[in-house]
Chains A and B, each alone.
Chain A
Amino acid sequence: MSATTQTDALVVEGLSGGYDRFDVVHDIAFRVGCGEAVALLGPNGAGKTTVLRAIMGLLRHRRGRIEIDGTDVVAAPPHRIARGLAAMVPEGRRLFVGQSVEDNLRLGGIRLRGDRARTEELLAGVFELFPVIERYRDREATALSGGEQQMVAIGRMMMADPALMLLDEPSLGLAPLAIADLSAALRRLREQDRSILLVEQRVDIALEVCDRIYVLSGGRIVDEGRASDMGAEGRALIDAYLG
């Protein structure tokens, strides 16, 4: 058997970008291997969301190289990147208002609308990971609790079956119990060999879920390392960065 060449899920090189022509991230370079979970840590305002938006195609002013699954997307619009390359859990969840849990999930998988079997399979996968939201499938999504809404947001991302999963601070605003559930769910996603880029403020979650971490500060990558190498010393260093 010949080994297939493993391209990285994500390669970012020399990425700069921002809003209204003012760069807020500068010369960013990092990668996410296939089946690897990578965390992007950093203090508030470091530019983490901006990097995720650049990868998803939502940042109009961006330069450099962004390769998802071997395809350069630095000039692609979001709806093209959404066709199997990347899917995102946005900051603040942003579920579709006025639509049911199930509709939110099915909208996440709308790129596969021609493939009924695959869609139902993915839906079953989401409900297996989050049995709670199956019970609420007909409810208006934004009427659920914060933790449940976050499950729907993650489910919506999973429904696209993307090469790269982007999550922006999924723990934000959740109760401690919900955070524990979330962390467990992320680990299971990781075990399914999904390629994940996780933005977090909670270092403990990032270290639990991810193989490697990058630290972003002031719009630049200032540190990187393996999660397993992060002893007390490394954590102290990160905590210092996170302020």
Chain B
Amino acid sequence: MLQVLLSGLTVGTIYGLVAMAFAIVFYVTKVINFATGQLLMVSILLVSGLVKLGLPDWLGIVTGLVAATVLGVATYFIAVRPVLRFDRFSFAWLVSTLGVAIVIQATFALIYGPASQPFPRGLHAIPVRLGPATLTVQEIVTLAVGLLAIVGWHLVRRYTLLGKLGKAISTDPEIASTVGANVTAFAVGAFAIGGFLAGLAGILVGPITYGNPYLGDTYGIFGFIALMIGGIQRPAAAMGGGLVLGVLSIAANTYIGAQASDWFPFVLVLLVLLLTPNGVFASGDQLRRLFRTRRAYQQGVNA
């Protein structure tokens, strides 16, 4: 039971990081970068390849993270900015970011072939007993990174003027630009953060998945499902969606059958979309808004 929960949260954090990568890009630009999963794959395969060439693990990891970040930014300049400049309300990014995903995947398939590539075991080789459950140090680091991502996002958005400017861009980019926000710079930053988070998810999950060029599809789709479960409007909720998806998938594997996690997420997201179309955590938001309005109303009456 505890093992299911902890393993679920670990896998869920990976989905959650990918979902956050989607969500942060969407938050600033209202674009979904369909190459996000491929950025995870790139960081894994670069680590595999460089370590195989004899480079130290840490250098491979740094290179993988930098590459995912740079590719994220490149996606913005190649596939997003041109189509939005042509028409601000165009949905052509749907096709163009998918195109980038295909090109990245084909390139890595060409270089690495379809076979599984080894990934350094690193911290994954060290088990830690937690009562009846066992986690590896790598998994504990994963959980910590997830927590850090969510808390960091919350603090920046809530308590810094830069975060509030980001929120202003999210709700009204035009007016935000008239108070001095460089909307393009924020978009570049969002794609960079998205690329970095996807790359980070890759480094964290690499010892479990090893490397292959098609990992981007799997994690892209599961990250997207996590995004749908959590709700696309808020990046912190996207992480929550990942955790829900992770725990329920592992539970399905354990209690329904070994292959259940292949189909279970799709059933789950269908249910979520039918019941709360804005995501599981959006309903909490509506509740809070209701309370806030009531409080404002009461203050108004007392004033």
Point out residues on A near B: beta carbons under 8 Å.
56-58, 77-79, 81-83, 87-88, 90, 94, 96-99, 103, 106-108, 110-111, 113, 135, 139-140, 143, 156, 160
Contact = CB atoms under 8 A, between A and B. Distances in A.
5 contacts: A78-B178, A107-B161, A107-B165, A110-B181, A143-B293
B180 A79 contact: yes
A87 B168 CA distance: 16
A200 to B, nearest CB: 20
Nearest to A144: B296
Interface of B: 161, 164-165, 167-168, 171-172, 174-183, 292-293, 296, 299, 303
Given A96-B171, A135-B303, A140-B292, A110 B165 contact: yes
B180 A96 contact: no
A103 B164 contact: yes
A82 B303 contact: no
Contacts of A81: 178
A191 B175 CA distance: 27
Contacts of B182: 77, 79
B180 A111 contact: yes
Contacts of A140: 292, 296
B179 A111 contact: yes
Given A56-B178, A57-B178, 4 more contacts: A78-B178, A79-B177, A96-B172, A97-B171
Complex A-B, nearest 5 residue pairs according to Cβ-Cβ distance, in ascending order? A82-B180, A78-B177, A111-B180, A96-B168, A79-B182
Contacts of A56: 178
A160 to B, nearest CB: 7
Nearest to B181: A79
B161 A97 contact: no
Contacts of B178: 56-58, 78-79, 81-82, 87-88, 90
B161 A110 contact: yes
A83 to B, nearest CB: 6
A85 to B, nearest CB: 11
Contacts of B171: 96-98
B179 A99 contact: no
A82 B181 CA distance: 9
Contacts of B183: 79
A113 B164 CA distance: 13
Given A106-B161, A107-B161, A99 B177 contact: no
Given A79-B182, A103-B164, A106-B161, A96 B175 contact: yes
Given A99-B167, A107-B161, A90 B296 contact: no
A107 B164 contact: yes
B175 A110 contact: no
A110 B179 contact: yes
Contact of A143 (B174, B177, B180, B296): B296
A126 to B, nearest CB: 14
A135 B175 CA distance: 25
Nearest to A96: B168
A110 B180 contact: yes
Given A107-B164, A111-B180, A135-B303, A94 B175 contact: yes
Contacts of A143: 293, 296
Contacts of B161: 106-107, 110, 113
Contacts of B296: 139-140, 143
Given A135-B303, A140-B292, A83 B180 contact: yes
B168 A107 contact: yes
A143 B296 CA distance: 8
A93 to B, nearest CB: 9
A140 B296 CA distance: 9
Nearest to B88: A60
